[in-house]
Amino acid sequence: MLLSKSCVYGLRAALYLAAKRDGSYYSIRTMSEELDISFHFLTKILQQLTADSLLESYKGPNGGVRLSAKGKKSTLFDLVIAIDGPGLFTECALGLPGCGSEEPCPLHNSWIDTRASIENMLKRTNLTKIAEEGKEKHFRLTADGHFSWS
């Protein structure tokens, strides 16, 4: 699996918030139901993003989370780093510490290119742009197509 489940849930939630392009707070409970993700688990993941200032949260009635200014400008790469850390983009494909161009593993030269293409894919556009594109193309964020981009 390329990304952990935590990471995938975090991405889907961030995309959900980007899709709602007003800047209001959305409750994690509602998001968890619409995206079909465990509420408590999603809460913990979004706390990481809040701690990283990609989200802003507000407690109490009508509270919830929303994208921060930083979050709106951020790319999927930034979200992946915040949740899964940088390992995917720094480590040897065979897990060999010290693998590099001086002493490469058999995959090294191929892997650095492929790794860069993964990185570029995730860096291509920020959340605001993905949200605009999503409105045109009606991207899905759920298994059942239950989510509607608005």
Partner DNA sequence: TTAGTTTAAGACAATAAACTCTTAAATAGG
Partner DNA sequence: CCTATTTAAGAGTTTATTGTCTTAAACTAA
Binding residues for a second copy, total number by CB under 8 A = 44
d(CA 106, CA 3): 24
The DSSP letter of residue 21 is -
d(CA 111, CA 138): 33
Q: Do the Cβ atoms of 82 and 52 come closer than 8 Å?
A: yes
Q: Which is nearer to a second copy, 25 or 139 (CB)?
A: 139
Query: Which listed option, a second copy, DNA, none, makes contact with residue 94 (CB within 5 to 8 Å by class)?
Result: a second copy
Q: Which residues bind DNA (CB under 7 A)?
A: 4-6, 9, 27-29, 38, 40-41, 43-44, 46-47, 50-51, 57-65
Choose, by CB under 8 A, the member of 24, 30, 69, 133 that binds a second copy: 133
Q: Is 3 in the site for a second copy (CB under 8 A)?
A: yes
Q: Is 83 in the site for a second copy (CB under 8 A)?
A: no
d(CA 141, CA 40): 19
Smallest distance, Å, CB 81 to a second copy?
Answer: 15
Q: Which amino acid is at 144?
A: D
